[in-house]
Chains A and B, each alone.
Chain A
Amino acid sequence: MSELVQIHNLTKVYNKKKMALDHMNLVIPRGRIIGLLGPNGSGKTTLIKLISGLLVPTEGEVLINGNKPGAVTKAQISYLPERTYFQSNMKVKELIDYFADFYGDFSRERAKELLRNLNIDEQARLKTLSKGTKEKVQLIMVMSRNAQLFLLDEPIAGVDPAARDYILRTIITNYNSNATILISTHLISDIENILDEVIFIRDGRMILQDTVENIRGQKGKSVDAYFREVFVC
């Protein structure tokens, strides 16, 4: 079987002047939890949007299971955007129906169980929920699909540390071992232990792809500490 995601020469230029991705080459294997790490404006969100098919490349290509982004790949990818897009007068329960309608691989049971464990009321309207709770709801929806690739753009930024731990444990126990989870974040130390690999990007280029254990073994420091060294300001 081919690699899950193959990226060749991928380039994205905004408004003919801002180069967000600069001829990036990257292979994303199956069955891994991968951290996508880089400073602000390095191209993380652009890369995720290109893989999910929300943006069209200026140059180069993305292949998911050998296919260009489209209807087929959207059924295989579960994407968590950095901002919420749900209608605020929807109830949590309606959101479950909405997702079940949209995605054949959505598990109502899993969503309901996760909501229950985080004490989130299915009858609540989204606009009555706090920012952090809304983020939890959105993450639960995204993680309740049985997708091959999960793209999580800053999934835990607004969530308190205890819920963060719960969410990370949920990811560990629920993900299918053939699926890959790509997580972009600045909160490296919080998620470092659950990652197989990390990808460092800077100025739209990939500068490192390695396993967490290799980095720790070779550099004698955590990925968090190494990141601070590589991207020192």
Chain B
Amino acid sequence: MAWNLNSDRPIYAQILEVIQIRIIAGVYKPGEKIPSVRELAAEAGVNPNTMQKALTELERSRLVMSVRTSGRMVTEDMEMIRQTREHLAREQVQEFINRMKKLGFSRAEVLKLLEQEEGHE
């Protein structure tokens, strides 16, 4: 998952999301160390203070833990990872529904479309 930062949302919220998705997708595995602030900042092309802020937020939500003298590691609490996954999915669905509303679709129409789309896969 590349960083692909867009221009209109706060950068910190976007990098937070990328790291969450990496954890959910197992790029950073439970109990494993994640790269340092500097490394992540350089990779994403963002200010180290912004990256620090995103990691602090992840620590606050306990998805990552800081390990004395050796950086940060991903939580081993699988339930927490599962919850984060669910939370991100709900956000995506909400956003999708809002956009469909703007296009004038009713709930029933949206569901029908989704079913049709499933049939194509």
- In the complex, the number of residue pairs spanning A and B with C-beta atoms less than 8 Å apart equals 55
B82 within 8 A of A: no
User: How many residues on A have C-beta within 8 angstroms of the other chain's C-beta atoms?
Assistant: 24
Interface residues in B35-66 by Cβ distance below 8 A to A read 38, 41-42, 44-50, 53
Asked if B10 and A193 sit within 8 Å, CB to CB, the answer is no
B97 within 8 A of A: no
> Which of A101-109, A145-153, A202-210, A216-224 is found at the contact surface with chain B?
A216-224
Interface residues on B, range: 10 to 19
Name the prevailing secondary structure of the A interface residues. Answer: helix
Chain A residues with CB under 8 Å of B46's CB are 172, 193-194
Q: Nearest chain-A residue to B41 (Cβ)? A: A172
Asked if A33 and B8 sit within 8 Å, CB to CB, the answer is no
The one of A172, A196, A216 that contacts B10, using a Cβ cutoff of 8 Å: A216
Asked if A193 and B11 sit within 8 Å, CB to CB, the answer is yes
- Interface readout for B6-26 with A: 1 if CB under 8 Å, 0 if not? 011111100000000000000
Given the interface pairs A221-B7, A224-B7, the reply to whether A172 lies near B38 with Cβ below 8 Å is yes
What CA separation (Å) do A233 and B57 show in the bound complex? 40
B110 within 8 A of A: no
A75 within 8 A of B: no
Interchain nearest-CB distance for A229 vs B (Å) = 13
List A residues at the B interface (Cβ < 8 Å).
31-33, 165, 168-169, 172-173, 177, 189, 192-196, 212-213, 216-217, 220-222, 224-225
